[in-house]
Amino acid sequence: GTLDGAVLRTEELEKSFGGNKALQGVSIEARPGEVTALIGPNGSGKTTLLNLISGFYRPSGGRLMLGETEIGGRPAYRIARLGVTRTFQTPLIPKDMTTRAFVATGRYATHKVGIATALLRLPAFRRGYRADDAEALRLLRLLGIEETADRPVDSLALGTRRLVEVARALASRPRVFLFDEVGSGLDESDLRVLEHAVGMIREAGGTVILVEHNFPLVLKLADRIHVLSQGRLIASGTPAEIQADRRVLAEYTGA
C-alpha cells in the first residue's frame, strides 16, 4: 500500500492534562527497518507518547504523521487500521482465554468495536476461525511457545505472557509496532526470544518503537534512542552516543 515504507514522525508534539504538560515540543522520527527506543525516568512522558501515537489520546498541539498522513487525534481503531499496533504494560486478558484464542484476537484490533469487545469476540464464534487459529499457532511457534497454545493466558509466567502479547501484535500484521515495557519480567531465555522477534520484525521492514526500562536491552536492540525527561526530549542518538551522554547518565543516576 501507499504507506509501505512510511516514516512515523512527531512534530513539536504536545500533550497537557489540565495544567500538567506531559509532553512539550517532542519531535522524533521512527523509520521502517529500524528500532527506535524511548527511554526516560518514570513520569517523563513515554507512555503518553505511545498513547498519542496509537490514538488513545488526542494531541494538545503539534503534529503526528505516518508518511504524509496526519494521524494525530484519529480514533485508535482507525490508526490501527493503518497498521499501527501496540502491546500493553498490563494487558486486558479475559479469564481462562487460551493463548491461541488471545493471539487470534490480534486480527480484530483494527475493528471499530475496540479492544475490550474484540477480546471478548472469540474467534470460535466467527467464520474463518480455522485460518485465524492456524495463524495463531504459526506465530506461537515463531516465538517458541507453541506448547502454551491451549493453556489460559492468565496461567502463564509473566515472561511467557509478554511473548504471547508480541504474538498477538504480530497477528494484526502491522507496519508499526509499539512495544510498551515488553522486556519487563523476562528471564534471559525469554529475552533472547524477544530479541530474535524484534530482529525479525526489523528485517522484514517493520517500524519498531520500544518503551523500555531495561537499558542493556535498549542498547542491544535500538538503532536510535530518544531520551525524555519531564515531557521534553533531552537527547537523541545512537546507542553509543546515548551511552556517552552525560545528561542521560545524570538523569539515570542523579549524578
What are φ and ψ of residue 50, in 5° steps? Answer: -60, -40
- Judged by CB under 6 A, the stretch of 35-43, 156-164, 232-240, 245-253 that binds ligand ADP is 35-43
47 counts as binding ligand ADP under rule CB under 6 A: yes
Which residues have a Cβ under 8 Å from the Cβ of 90 and sit 6 or more positions away?
Answer: none
Among the listed ranges 44-52, 187-195, 197-205, 246-254, the one in contact with ligand ADP (CB under 6 A) is 44-52
Least distance from ligand ADP to the Cβ atom of residue 73, Å = 16
Whether 26 contacts 63, CB under 8 Å: no
| Smallest distance from ligand ADP to CB 44, Å | 4
46 forms part of the interface with ligand ADP (CB under 6 A) = yes
Task: Count interface residues toward ligand ADP (CB under 6 A).
Answer: 11
| DSSP secondary structure string for all residues of 108-141 | GGGSTTHHHHHHHS-GGGSTTHHHHHHHHHHHHH
Among 35, 37, 40, 179, interactor with ligand ADP by CB under 6 A? 40
Q: Are strands 61-66 and 176-180 parallel, antiparallel or unpaired?
A: unpaired
Residue 75: CB minimum distance to ligand ADP, A:
17
- In this chain, which of 9, 31, 33, 43 binds ligand ADP, going by CB under 6 A? 43
| 44 near ligand ADP, judged by CB under 6 A | yes
Residue 2 lies near ligand ADP (rule: CB under 6 A) = no
**Cβ proximity to ligand ADP, 160 vs 229, nearer residue:** 229
Instruction: Tell me which of 35, 37, 45, 214 binds ligand ADP, using CB under 6 A.
Output: 45
Q: Where are the alpha helices (DSSP H) in 46-187?
A: 46-53, 76-81, 99-104, 114-120, 129-142, 158-171
17 binds ligand ADP (CB under 6 A): yes
Q: Cα(38)–Cα(46) distance, rounded to whole angstroms?
A: 6
Distance, CA of 251 to chain centre: 24
In angstroms, rounded to a whole number, what is the distance separating the alpha carbons of residues 103 and 94? 12
Our CB check for ligand ADP shows the closer of 132 and 251 to be: 251
Separation of alpha carbons 48 and 55, rounded Å: 10
